[in-house]
Every structure is written in structure tokens, then in C-alpha cells.
Chain A
């Protein structure tokens, strides 16, 4: 399925496993239900990613996080925003691997997804066909700065006002 990040279309390096069988896959993407089994077989060179439903609780995930290189959070529909909060929690709990939003997101959610800690979005074919990659990249620049502190690195309005104040004070 089509994949993109803030720079545009992106090649998929992950292979979905059959059940827990990760065999000699270098980047194996496994379902949440079989994750413990897959991790038990993991060799040192293998990378494991997991696809999780947006109902997973952080305590269930937290202990396994260090062994994971990618977490893909499912978006059952674009209107179900649980994935945004789950991504924030996963980042807040120290996950530094790749975070993927997987589902029928819309262009207007791309900036939100990145701000909440996602790195990339995986779309169903139909969504991607309607919404070309240029629309996604273009959407990122539509709102230059948001008001919320701690979301993304584009420089939020509150911190910009603060720097302006400090600069002003220093100049004065």
C-alpha cells in the first residue's frame, strides 16, 4: 500500500509476516496478537515492527517498545482520532523508532499526524489514488505555526512570542 512521509512518496522496506513466522525477513511487520511469539524468534540482525489497533493500552506496549523498530497504529476510519493520542503517548514514553499511521487518513490530517509524533502514513490504494502525493506535501505548509507547545518542531506561536519577548528585552 502507498506510503509517504513529509518529503513525499516513500518505498516500503517492511514485509508483513505470515502469523508469527518472521523467518529470514530483515524487516518483519507483525500483528499485535503474535508480537510476543515473533519477538521470541527475533535474531540480532532482524528488525521487528508491529501493527497495533488504536485501543492498545500503553502499559501493555511499554515493556516491548525497546525491541521494536516500527509501530504502525491502525486508523479504522479517518474520523477516529484515537491514533493521534496513542502516538503522543508512545512518544512520551520514549519510543524513538518509526511511527506509522496506517489507514484511510485525509490530506488535512497529515500535519496533525506529524505533530503528534508520526513519521509516515500508509494509505489504502483508493485514498492514495484520490489524493495525490503533492496534496499531502502541500498541506504541510498551509498553517505555518500552531498554538500548541510540544507538538512537532515547526516552532509554535507561544514559543515564538516568547523568543520575541526575550529578544526585545535583551535589545532594551
Chain B
């Protein structure tokens, strides 16, 4: 993991002092509320429905056990004993008092954390593949790149007052687990087909929200050393040309769409060619300095299999089921990465109590080289667990209600906080997620259905990524009543796709039946071994639409 040096430490401490000063200037009237608002947002402080909310950055989803314990402490001391992990791998506290926030920021700085740029019209927390450094299909660990970008984008003098928020994601693997095509900039580390040199494929203009778009490739191969200069060129073109007349058309995806990928790429290349790369880019020694922090940890040399593990698996069906869903193969023989589901049936997706955070921190210390990851699917990962320790870890997780065997399954639902917390929301999301999880709670049935991502957003801003859910659910408000629009066929991977709307909106209580019908079509039509999304791609939307509309008709009759 990256560790702060004296410069990083000082930077974060000074940012806290600066925030205290900003709050002081707001209170004295030097700053108007309008002027203060972006300043507090850029430090993660939102004014929500009931209270202030503080969003803490978890850069590229990597946490140490020490950091997790500090989050637990903050949750206990300043919130209601829990926190909420988000789809940007951040952590939100929903109930802090404004006057406590500088103290919370101090506690974060103590463990090399901050809330810098977790909101506002600036470059946001950089995300990456949550199996970085572990995955078997990786060309290069994306975290050094993400850390370099984290530093470069922090308090950037030129790019802190952008037309709109700006999100960057990095993956180093073939299989995209970081949803890079739904980001303002997506970077994929790859090898040049001819020279074998490592570089980046640069994708720009993806995004969800009101106008969902899949990102476009603007540079097929960018040498690694040119990263910061190229990013500067993209940001400069966007900062100057991005629309500022309408906040709903201000994201870079709209600029790329309006002038075309080719023209956007031409402008970026022109600026990139003109600017003096060597004076902007990080020197190779700096890149190497950062990369050294992410060198593989000291693994033990182990056999690829473990007799104790196999025996436990054979003797305990619950453990076997959990292993089947929540385990990811590790590149190091004898190890596995395990997903800790924050989606127990009936609980709000992504919530963890302070007690649970401490359990995870303890397990990370004992069994996972003190490392934890946060996933964009709002789960946690222990990335380096020995196969022989898995049974013990599973038992301990179970005692803390953290051993739900549903990673990637129909009850592993992504949901934004929705109307229960968020000032922007137009409908509730958490209760919909809870109702669906209860409906599909039966583990046997979940296993039979297999991989199926349901993603729920409580408004058009799409924090719940509904557009790229295999099944997406968008909550809207129509004449004072919540109405849920269902989309089908979205995909968040390297085969990124935006889901299509199935039909008219539904009342909250009708959502589980509608999803049930969609699932029934799949179960009836699938070929052997065919996943839900593959089935939707093969048979098309029509059969699902028909079933969906049948259910709708029944509902209308019932209402009439």
C-alpha cells in the first residue's frame, strides 16, 4: 500500500487547516453561502435531507486495517455507529455535525486519509479494479497509476472549477471490473501489440446520469511516461470547451458527443503535441517510487491446494456455497481473494457498523496482510487470504453477519442511499433493494439464477449505476407517487452496454413481481450454462417485454 511521505502528510494537514479557515470565513460573512458551497463540497461535506453528510475518499478502494479502525472510531464517535460504502468506493457518514467535521478530518489525516474532492466540479476520487495486484488476468497493477493521478489531481490549480464533476477509473486487467467505459476518463493498461511496451488505452466521454453514454477510445496507445501531459491536454480542452450553460449538458460526454470523437481527439492531440511533456510528466524515478509501494507482499510459498480447505468444503455445505460465490482466484498459489458481502438479506446495501469494520480490520491483520479493498459494488474484499485459513475467516465473518454468500448474485444489489438520505433523490432505493433481497433470499434459488446484477438509483443522477445493471431500476416521482422504471441488458464490464427500458413505470410494491417475471423468462429460455446477461443478448428484449407487460396489465386490473 502507498504510504505518505512528508510532503503528502503536510499537504493533507494543511488542507484541514485551510478548511477550518474556510468555515471561519463563512461564519464571519467573508464568504457568501454560494461561495462557501463548492468549498465544502470539495471537502466532501454535503447538506443532505436531514443533516450534513461527509464523504471520505478511499483512493482506488484500498484500505489498511489501521484506516478501517479509524473509520470505525469516527462512526462511533461522530455518527450513529455505522458508515455507508458507495459505488465510488468512498465511505459516507450520514449524521456528523458540521462543527465536528474539522476534527474528523484531523483523525483521517492521522491515518493518511482525507475527504478531498469527493464532491464538487473537480476531478473526483480515482477508482480502480478492486482485485488489483491479485487478479490473474492483469497486465500491470493499476494502483500506481491511480495514486499518481490522485496526487496530480489534488487541488489542481487549473482544473478545480470545471464545468462539472469528473471521474477517472483505471484497470490493468483484461476483464474490466472498474467500469472504465462509464467514466469521464477510463484508462486501460495494456501492452503494445508490436513492441510489447506497457501503455494506456484512453477512453473519454462515458458516464451515466441523465444521458448515459459509453466512453469512446480517443487514444489507442499512450506511452506510460506521457500520462500526466495527456491528461492535462484532455482536461484543458474540456475546461475551455465543455458546456457551462446547462448543468445537465456539462459533462465531457456531451462535449465528445456534440463535436464527435474524432474532433475531440484532434483537439486533445493538438494541445498534447504543443505542450511541453517533460515539464509536466512525472519522472520515471517518481513513478517507480510510487510503484514500489505496490510491490507484491511477502507471500508464503504454498501448494496450490489445501487439504484442510477441501475437507471443510466437503463437510460444510454453507461454507462450500460461500466459497463458490465469494471467492476469487489469486495469482499466488495457495491464496484467494474473498469478497465480504455488505448485502445481508434485508439490510441497506453497503452499510457497515463500526463493530463490523473492526471485525474486518482484525481479520485483515490476522489473515490478509492487513489489507482491505472496497468494491464499486459496495462490498469489501480481503485480498490475500490463505486457502487453509478460509474456513476460520468464514466462521468469524459469520459471527458478525458478514458471511452472506451472494457476491455477484441477484441479492448482491447496488443501491444509492435514495430518498431515505439524499436531497437529490426522487424515490426510495434502499427499501426496493430490501424487498428484492427478501423475495430472492432462498440460497438454492439464487444459485440456480446465477450471476445477475441488479442496480438501483433513486434519481436520474444514477449513483446506483442502474443503466449498466443487467436489470436496472430507476426511481422517479410522478405526481407525488414513486414510480420505478425497469431497464434490461445493461453491462458494466468490457462489454459495456446501456440497458433498455422495458415498459411503463411501476409502483414500489409491484417491483418484486416484475423482476420475478423477468427472471422466469430467463430460467425458461436459457441454454445450458448460459448466464442471464448472455441470455438477454441472445434472445433479445421481446420475450422479457412481453412478460413485463403482462405483469403490468395484471397490476392495472388489480388497481382498477
Contacts and interface: CB of A to CB of B under 8 A. Distances in A.
A112 B157 contact: yes
B155 interface: yes
A131 B279 CA distance: 35
A151 B153 CA distance: 13
A151 B14 contact: no
Interface stretch (B27-35, B209-217, B541-549): B27-35
A113 B158 CA distance: 8
Interface in A66-88: 78-82, 84-86, 88
Given A112-B158, A151-B157, A162-B283, A86 B240 contact: yes
SS class of chain B's interface: helix, strand, loop or mixed? helix
Interface stretch (A5-13, A25-33, A137-145): A137-145
B157 A146 contact: yes
Interface string A85-96: 110110010000
A130 B158 contact: no
B30 A130 contact: yes
Interface residues of A, number: 41
B152 interface: yes
B7 A161 contact: yes
A113 B161 CA distance: 11
A81 B162 contact: yes
Given A115-B157, A135-B30, A88 B236 contact: yes
Nearest to B28: A130
Interface in A141-170: 142-152, 157-158, 160-162, 165
Contacts of A113: 157
A107 interface: yes
Nearest to A130: B30
Which of A78, A85, A88, A112 has most B Cβ within 10 Å?
A85
Interface in A101-152: 106-109, 111-113, 115-116, 130-132, 135, 142-152
A107 B25 contact: yes
B285 A165 contact: yes
Given A143-B18, A161-B7, A152 B236 contact: no
Given A88-B158, A116-B157, A149-B279, A131 B30 contact: yes
Given A84-B239, A85-B236, A149-B279, A130 B31 contact: yes
B175 interface: no
B239 A143 contact: no
5 contacts: A78-B35, A81-B160, A89-B236, A143-B18, A161-B289
Interface of B: 5, 7-8, 10-11, 14-15, 17-18, 21-22, 25, 29-32, 35, 38-39, 121, 151-152, 154-162, 228, 236, 239-240, 244, 274-276, 279-283, 285-286, 289
